[in-house]
């Protein structure tokens, strides 16, 4: 994850544990934290769920499905070996912060 100025915020591993037609879920780790003070960091608890549009090659990820507000949501395009998109920190008042999100398929997959 990067902020709006392309500064690194967090690096980690996103593991898909379940994929069924249009839904996915899994876990993630925050292996390298460059900045833990950005809005929404504390809501990231290590598990996610998402919706997949296979035909449109898009995925929407909820970084903490147990909460609705003060949460991070990710919208990405599905590429051959990566996900490219943005993250949004959403509150009751709407979008508070945004940044870039990248995920690359690991070699062991």
Q: Give the pLDDT of the chain (109 residues) as one tens digit per residue.
A: 999 999 999 999 999 999 888 999 999 999 999 999 998 899 999 999 999 999 999 999 999 999 888 899 999 999 999 999 999 999 888 777 899 999 998 866 5
Q: What region does 22 belong to: left with phi over 0, alpha with psi -120 to 50, or beta?
A: alpha
Report the largest interatomic distance among the alpha carbons of the chain, rounded to a whole angstrom: 41
Entry pTM: 0.89
Contact 9, 21 (CB under 8 A): no
Rounded to a whole number, what is the distance in angstroms from the first to the last CA of the chain?
A: 21
Q: What is the CATH number of domain 10-104?
A: 2.40.128
What are the structural domain ranges in the chain? 10-104
- Answer for the pair 24, 15: CB distance below 8 angstroms, yes or no: no
């Amino acid at each position: 994850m990067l902020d709006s100025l392309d500064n690194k915020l967090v690096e980690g591993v996103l593991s898909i544990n379940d994929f069924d037609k249009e839904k996915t879920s899994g876990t993630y780790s925050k292996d390298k934290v460059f900045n833990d003070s950005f809005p929404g960091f504390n809501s990231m608890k290590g598990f996610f769920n998402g919706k997949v549009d296979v035909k449109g090659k898009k995925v929407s990820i909820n970084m903490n499905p147990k909460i609705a507000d003060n949460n991070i949501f990710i919208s990405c395009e599905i590429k051959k070996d990566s996900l490219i998109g943005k993250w949004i920190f959403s509150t009751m008042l709407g979008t508070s912060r945004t940044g870039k999100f990248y995920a690359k398929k690991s070699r062991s997959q």
